[in-house]
């Protein structure tokens, strides 16, 4: 399906004011294959608090047939935190935010107008593409100490749909320990297939409870354990790791990044999550930079292509932020 067809019903309003509107995509392709839907979990119900802050990101390129689904978490009225690898695409790739429990013709969508991915992710991906003997020891040390930096902020245009509210962000991970049970959510696969084009349940929001394997895997990442028949998988990329407080409120503290080790290609491995608290200082800078983008700059003829904003690097700090809420 061509990207312009996906957004055609919204273009008139978007070109006038980028105010957003409901979209009715004609078809769905499957999750992109970079990283780790929820396997062995259950569908999220409408009254579940997780449904109020978890969204899908659907992207299509006007230059190719490539399209993919990722998951994200609302952190403000117009910002979503997701994985940096979910921003892959060419200069014609359009992205929409999908609101609702299922992605369908009746789903409400709003166009993405600006994105900012952490620069470490691009550097680390380039590093891993080099032959081992060409990798600088200092870069390898950075990867081991801080992780891939697989985190991004996405800004969309339009009014936040009724019933959706930003998630509360955990200020640090000090209250968690290895073995703690946490909740993962995403729109990805429900079963494993070695065929990357197979439709294995992508497009429905699901949740699953999993144990933490290593809270301190490195300064920027933690690991979710693997349980036979349960996991995060393709399409859950960018989705949240959450923990429920005693008062019933959920805190988001992680972003689905990638499967690690044996079984990662069939969603039976440990899953690395980017630690949101570790990147709160960077997120605040990114949020400020994204707020300065004129949404009209995303209009490219008949397309709405997100403006890519560069935000400075920095070692994950993992310290308590002064502005945890309302980035």
Q: How confident is the model at residue 41 (pLDDT cuts 50, 70, 90)?
A: low
Strand spans (E) along the chain:
21-22, 42-43, 54-61, 67-74, 79-82, 93-99, 108-117, 152-156, 168-169, 181-186, 206-214, 221-224, 240-244, 250-260, 270-275, 299-300, 303-304, 307-308
* 184 and 208 Cβ atoms separated by less than 8 Å: yes
Average pLDDT over residues 239-255: 92
List, for residues 173-223, the tens digit of each pLDDT value. 998 999 999 999 988 754 444 444 444 556 889 898 889 999 999 999 999
Backbone angles phi, psi at 145, to 5 degrees: -80, -40
- What is the SS3 assignment for 207? strand
Q: How confident is the model at residue 32 (pLDDT cuts 50, 70, 90)?
A: very low
Q: How confident is the model at residue 40 (pLDDT cuts 50, 70, 90)?
A: low
């Amino acid at each position: 399906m061509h990207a312009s067809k996906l957004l055609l019903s919204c273009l008139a309003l978007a070109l006038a004011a980028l105010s957003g509107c409901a979209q009715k995509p004609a078809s769905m392709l499957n999750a992109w294959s970079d990283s780790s839907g929820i396997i062995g979990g259950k569908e999220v119900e409408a009254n579940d608090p997780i449904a109020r802050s978890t969204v899908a990101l659907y992207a299509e390129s006007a230059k190719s047939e490539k399209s993919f689904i990722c998951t994200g978490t609302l952190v403000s009225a117009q910002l979503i935190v997701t994985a940096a690898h979910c921003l892959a695409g060419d200069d014609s790739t359009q992205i929409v935010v999908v609101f609702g429990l299922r992605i369908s013709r009746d789903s409400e969508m709003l166009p993405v107008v600006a994105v900012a991915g952490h620069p470490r992710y691009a550097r680390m991906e380039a590093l891993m593409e080099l032959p081992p003997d060409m990798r600088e020891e200092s870069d390898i040390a950075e990867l081991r100490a801080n992780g891939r930096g697989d985190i991004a902020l996405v800004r969309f245009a339009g009014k936040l749909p009724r019933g959706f509210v930003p998630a509360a962000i955990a200020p640090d991970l000090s209250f968690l320990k290895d073995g703690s049970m946490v909740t993962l959510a995403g729109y990805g696969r429900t079963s494993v297939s070695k065929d990357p084009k197979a439709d294995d349940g992508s497009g429905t929001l699901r949740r699953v409870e999993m144990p933490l394997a290593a809270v301190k895997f490195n300064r920027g990442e933690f690991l979710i354990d693997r349980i036979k028949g349960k996991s995060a998988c393709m399409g859950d990329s960018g989705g949240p790791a959450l923990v429920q407080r005693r008062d019933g409120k959920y805190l988001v503290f992680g972003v689905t990044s990638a499967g690690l080790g044996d079984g990662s290609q069939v969603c039976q491995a440990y899953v690395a999550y980017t630690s949101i608290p570790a990147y709160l200082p960077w997120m605040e800078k990114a949020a400020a930079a994204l707020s300065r983008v004129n949404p009209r700059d995303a209009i490219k003829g008949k397309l709405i292509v997100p403006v890519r904003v560069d935000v400075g690097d920095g070692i994950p700090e993992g310290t308590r932020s002064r502005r945890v809420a309302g980035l």
